[in-house]
Amino acid sequence: MPEGVPLVAEFHDDRNRLSYYYPRLEEIEGVNTPDTQFFEIEGNAQTHLHLDYRDITCFMQEIDSECAFMRGDYSSAKVGGEESLKIESQDPYDIEESFATFIRDIILSQRHIGRRFVVREWIPHDVEVRYFIRDGEILYGDSVKGFKADWPVGQAHKVAKEFDQAAWSCDFIRHRETGEWYCIDMGLDGLYHDGQRWVAISEHLDKEQHSPENHVEEMPDPETLFS
């Protein structure tokens, strides 16, 4: 394996599930995470995907929120914008409509849902940063907006110590009103094969220096690697 490729895995590796890493994040003292609840999805794509939307209403009432963030176990929606990410009402009928919008987006994105629908506290934010960690240490951090000050490095170090096996990306957002940082997402840092080419599991903003995609020409044939 090329030195610049820390690992190879399937994109839908179980370790990329929120239900794998969130319970561990939630237990780290000093690391903030959004209030989160998992809901088992019933049915299948050939029949009808559904869940008890009243349970989501109860969760939103428990956290005293009129809106919430929604995602799947593996990923959030990537195509439809905020409409595919946000539940804007506690009414079960409105939640059902939001769930249907999310499912359509995930299908268009060709992502797995992961059998769990995830509802989280909605956190209005102004900045998002991503750290890359490996073997218990921070490699580097980056931000789309080139954010320079007040990074959550203390929280990131704690996450790195907990996730000291393999290589990871780790995302934080800053609450627009309180200035508090929240750890919202993680993903394996390496390559997966999409059937045609090698692709980075977690996107690097500084692709020229850090992305494992720089080493795809050195990668072996995937049939040989996974046989």
CB atoms within 10 A of CB 18: 23
Give the residue range(s) of CATH 3.30.470 domains in the chain.
1-33+123-227
**Cα separation of 211 and 209, whole Å?**
6
Which range is most confident: 41-50, 60-69, 78-87, 101-110?
A: 60-69
Segment 65-70 shows an average pLDDT of: 96
pLDDT in tens, 155-193: 999 999 999 999 999 999 999 999 999 999 999 999 999
> Is the pLDDT assigned to residue 138 strictly greater than 60?
yes
Helices (H), the chain: 18-26, 53-62, 92-109, 153-162, 207-210, 222-226
Which pLDDT score is estimated for 128?
A: 93
**Cα separation of 77 and 103, whole Å?**
8
> Is the pLDDT assigned to residue 147 strictly greater than 80?
no
Is CATH 1.10.3470 correct for 1-33+123-227?
A: no
Residue with tokens 């080139």: 146
Running DSSP on this structure, what letter comes out for residue 41? P
Q: Residue 124 class from Cβ within 10 Å (0-12 exposed, 13-18 middle, 19+ buried)?
A: exposed
Which pLDDT score is estimated for 227?
A: 56
- Rounded to the nearest angstrom, the gap between the alpha carbon of residue 31 and the centroid of all alpha carbons in its chain is 16
